[in-house]
Amino acid sequence: MLRLAFVTGTQAGKWFRRFQDTTAHGGLFTIDADDSMAELLSGNVDVALMRLPDGRVDDSFHVVRLYEETPGIAVPKDSVYAEAGEALALADVSDEHLNYQLTDSGEVDIAAVREALQVVAANVGIAIAPLPLLKILSKKQVVPLALTGSEVPVTEIALVWRKSHDNEAIQDFVGIAKGRTARSSRQEKPKRTAREKAKTKQSRKIVNNPLQKPKKRPKQRKRR
């Protein structure tokens, strides 16, 4: 069984389903965590779907970067920004009270983001964080919008695991996350029985030649 922790703000359900349906590694155990790297370091999981940058990731880990996150800004529901519903630049909100923003390196404190959004929901100020994270955490009184501008740090979502603990299950999950399909010869598939293989072979013959009728079995003579 593969054990995986996925950081808040990621929605990897389709990868989980594909891994369980197309591989034979004993299933998948997942943890939703604000700090998926901490779960990996403690040995609770084999691999972490996490947000980069993270100063704890060093040369002892494999890192597969999957995608960049759009920067975002959370504004009060009743603000003029929410009514416009358009992407904002930092210059547009320069006069607003800033409850939270990413560090210069781009690291995110999810607990601090949660607290900041409570203040935004009270119609006070704004919060800057990755847009997918804001969409997950924002309540009804908060509207998350995209934030533009090169001065905003960009975060990335990546799969991270220890080099010393590399295995086929992790490699198969990485392949699925990167778009490998179930037909890939590199991916370990569930073993089929001889009967299942025979049925598949017969169905292919019928599809290839729909006019061909299945052969009838010869009648057996009754013994007297």
Per-residue pLDDT tens digits for 164-223: 999 999 999 999 999 975 544 344 444 445 565 565 556 555 545 555 555 555 566 655
Is pLDDT of 12 > 90?
Answer: yes
Reported pTM: 0.78
How far CA 44 is from CA of 25, 26, 48, 108, in Å, comes to 18, 17, 10, 22
Torsion from C-alpha of 37, 11, 159, 103, nearest 10 degrees: -60
> Mind listing the pLDDT tens digit for each residue in 56-101?
999 999 999 999 999 999 999 999 999 999 999 999 999 999 999 9
Q: What domains can you pick out in the chain, each with its CATH number?
A: 2-68+155-178 (3.40.190.10), 69-148 (3.40.190.10)
Distance between CA atoms of residues 84 and 138, nearest Å: 18
Distance between CA atoms of residues 125 and 120, nearest Å: 6
Distance between CA atoms of residues 44 and 172, nearest Å: 20
How far CA 26 is from CA of 21, 65, 184, in Å, comes to 11, 26, 19
